[in-house]
């Protein structure tokens, strides 16, 4: 199994160093960013498994970064990690596309558990990037295997299942 890569965007150097050390000690590769612009540059290079994102950063805020990532990528998990703990802040972060929201101060074990849970959910079979549907074989009237794209929002199935009668 390939090593998971976590992009951590945090402007506080002490918190960033602590997160990098924590994630690396758990076997993750970490790409640290000190501001939103740097985070977007690192994300654009590809290969990111999960993003941990502070909201209050110089330049582009975590909200801006989340919004820009979601314009291009609907699947890569994002966890907001921030001191902004009001309900409206959480709602805005989640509505912009964050998958989870953790407020500072935070417990390292809880954050690691949330990272593990979000990564586990992101590996489920239904999570497919737009335009990258996976095909599943089926038989159509005795002919060879065909493919159905699960990324489609609607599908019609002009075929019969083997051993089943059509209505």
Q: Quote the tokens at residue 48.
A: 């990111």
pLDDT at 69: 98
Task: Measure the CA–CA gap between 59 and 67, rounded to whole angstroms.
Answer: 14
Q: Which residues of the chain have pLDDT under 50?
A: 128-153, 155, 157-161, 166-167
What pLDDT is recorded for position 145? 47
- Cβ distance 75 to 122 under 8 Å? yes
Q: Is the dihedral of CA 13, 25, 64, 96 positive or negative?
A: negative
What is the pLDDT at residue 149? 46
Residues 66 and 27: their CA atoms lie apart, in Å, by 25
The C-alpha atoms of residue 156 and residue 167 are separated, in whole angstroms, by 15
Report all structural domains of the chain as residue ranges with CATH numbers, in order of start: 5-122 (3.40.50.2300), 133-167 (no CATH)
Structure tokens at 160: 């019969």
Q: What is residue 3's three-state secondary structure?
A: coil
CA distance 7 to 58: 17
DSSP at 54:
-
- Global pTM reads 0.74
Per-residue confidence (pLDDT) for residue 144, from 0 to 100: 43
């Amino acid at each position: 199994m390939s090593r998971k890569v976590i992009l951590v965007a945090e402007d506080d150097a002490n918190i960033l160093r602590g997160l990098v050390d924590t994630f690396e000690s758990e076997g993750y590769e970490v790409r640290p960013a000190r501001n939103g612009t740097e985070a977007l540059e690192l994300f654009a290079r590809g290969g990111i498994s999960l993003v941990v994102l502070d909201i209050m950063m110089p330049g582009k805020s975590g909200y801006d970064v989340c919004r820009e990532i979601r314009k291009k990528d609907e699947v890569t998990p994002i966890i907001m990690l921030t001191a902004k703990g009001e309900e409206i802040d959480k709602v805005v972060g989640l509505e912009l596309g964050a998958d989870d929201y953790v407020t500072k101060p935070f417990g390292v074990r809880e954050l690691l558990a949330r990272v593990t849970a979000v990564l586990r959910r992101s590996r489920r079979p239904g999570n497919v990037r737009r335009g990258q549907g996976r095909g599943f074989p089926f038989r159509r009237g005795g002919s060879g295997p065909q493919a159905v794209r699960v990324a489609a929002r609607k599908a019609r199935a002009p075929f019969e299942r083997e051993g089943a009668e059509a209505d």
